[in-house]
Amino acid sequence: MKEKSQNNLMDKVISLCKRRGFIFPGSEIYGGLANSWDYGPLGVELKNNIKQMWWERFVHQRGDIVGIDAALIMNPKVWEASGHLKEFSDPLVECKVCHERFRADQKDIIVEHEEFHEKRKESAGWTEPKQFNLMFKTFIGPLQDEKSTAYFRPETAQAMFVNFKNVVDTTRQNLPFGIAQIGKAFRNEITTGNFIFRTKEFEQMEIEYFIEEKDWQNIFEMWRKEMLFWIKDLGVNLKKVHEREVPDGERAHYSKRTVDFDYEFPFGKEELYGLAYRTDFDLRNHEKASGVNLKYKDAKTGKEFWPHVIEPTWGVDRSLLIVLLEAYHEEGDRVVLKLPLRLAPYKVAVFPLLANKDKLVEKAKEIYKDLQKNFSVAWDDRGNIGKRYYSQDEIGTPWCITVDFESLENDTVTVRDRDTAKQERIKVAGLTTYFEDKLK
């Protein structure tokens, strides 16, 4: 029963996302495309709020991290030096009956596929696993030949390594320090699915934190705690989060230690974020391949060396998914999205009690325009007031303001709280201060 309830939760969240304009199927009018998704008006606001919260926390509020925004397509030699052209692959198997292809390590999906064929009285057989490179190939220029081959980046990390010297020269950062980036990455995944959990195009929030080798264990632990603090601030119940030490043989080719943060999704316990100790693998290999000195020179000792790297990685899309899953609540006939206040797409909604009363509409419009100077504000004058409240509850708006006839007499309005549904009268002149205090 619990599994059915969990799957039902996923279905309800997906339905809400489509119905309320958070997330739409990509290329929907043409039947969609390979589990691609488009973020709608509310989804893009929620996504931007997550990214802004991350950037403020890990860049603006720290003196040891600076940001970059690098190109999606890089010189192909980058991917040779990083090992991606040789190592960045997954094991692929093909069904001998229908010729569909799956990752060999996704046993649950393979079992489901076998059961599908069994119901049709077919015996599914599989080819031997073959390594399938996940890089997305493209071409630069008019000719599609080997010389013009390029790749969309499969991760944001390499741009931070190849820009290491530029950042050090222009910012004068001293170890330890980090480079941060938010951006798209592309992986030609064999098996996509579970809504926005695994897609071919996704967005990462990533930091490459450069350190001295002797400090790696302490700094690894610092970032482990930072990642847990972040998860908690997203409104996530940490009891649903499990740290998993990735063993030898399963780690990425560059990693000496990796801890994955798994989350109890409705479809099973899966990876949410990752924390890796990349040693000096990247800078050392890029220096060797490019011929450019990528060593760090200690200003005090004059010693030159390749810094080691701790890499915390957050998926934007998976962050948004767990925020929605954690925020979704049903209270009687009311669906409430109890989003953390700073993440809500709209902070306030403004209603005239009656849309056909000019003075009420005029007063409400004045309040709406004034609050827009400081907050993201929704306007709603459709249907009865109860339906408007429920509509804002469902998209996660923390407060609703209703302008009624009493507002015209004493310049007060009703402010309704999303989570408690309680109401109080507030002076119009004090609304900005009221919401600012709440959002602190």
CATH number of the domain to which 358 belongs:
3.40.50.800
Residues 367 and 430 in one domain: yes
> How many distinct structural domains can be found in the chain?
3
How wide is the angle at C-alpha 137 spanned by C-alphas 133 and 140, nearest 5°?
155
Residues 198 and 208 in one domain: yes
Residue type, 50: I
Please tell me the least confidently modeled range out of 109-113, 226-230, 333-337: 109-113
Query: Residue 139 maps to which CATH number?
Result: 3.30.930.10
C-alpha to C-alpha distance for 63 and 197, rounded to whole angstroms: 33
Confidence of residue 251 (pLDDT cuts 50, 70, 90): confident
Place of tokens 């302008």: 403
**Of 193, 226, 190, 286, residue with least CA distance to 62:** 226
Confidence of residue 361 (pLDDT cuts 50, 70, 90): very high
**Of 237, 261, 259, 257, residue with least CA distance to 248:** 257
Place of tokens 């993440």: 343
Residues 53 and 111 in one domain: no
Question: How many residues can be counted in the chain?
Answer: 440
Confidence of residue 2 (pLDDT cuts 50, 70, 90): very low
Residue 20 belongs to a domain: yes
pLDDT score for 184: 96
Question: Domain limits at 40?
Answer: 2-88+135-161+179-294+307-326
Residues 245 and 387 in one domain: no
Calculate the CA 106 to chain-centre distance.
Answer: 23
Residue 117 belongs to a domain: yes
Residues 259 and 157 in one domain: yes
Percent of the chain with pLDDT over 90: 72
Residue 419 belongs to a domain: yes
Residues 6+ apart with CB under 8 A from 322: 234, 236, 263, 265, 272
Query: Cβ distance 234 to 327 under 8 Å?
Result: no
Residues 245 and 272 in one domain: yes
C-alpha to C-alpha distance for 186 and 134, rounded to whole angstroms: 9
pLDDT score for 249: 84
Q: Which phi and psi (to 5°) does residue 334 adopt?
A: -105, 125
C-alpha to C-alpha distance for 156 and 159, rounded to whole angstroms: 6
Residue 252 belongs to a domain: yes
Residues 197 and 183 in one domain: yes
Residue 335 belongs to a domain: no
Helical axes 2-20 vs 385-395, angle rounded to 10°: 110
The model's pTM is 0.89
* Mean pLDDT, residues 172-199 taken together: 90
Residues 126 and 153 in one domain: no
Residues 44 and 66 in one domain: yes
- pLDDT tens profile 58-70: 999 999 999 999 9
C-alpha to C-alpha distance for 257 and 241, rounded to whole angstroms: 19
> Average per-residue pLDDT in the chain?
91
Residues 69 and 105 in one domain: no
Residue 167 belongs to a domain: no
Residue 62 belongs to a domain: yes
C-alpha to C-alpha distance for 18 and 163, rounded to whole angstroms: 40
Of these ranges, 23-32, 55-64, 113-122, 146-155, the one predicted with the greatest mean pLDDT is 55-64
pLDDT score for 418: 96
Using the predicted structure, report yes or no on whether residue 50 has a pLDDT greater than 60: yes
Residues 264 and 232 in one domain: yes
Percent of the chain with pLDDT over 70: 95
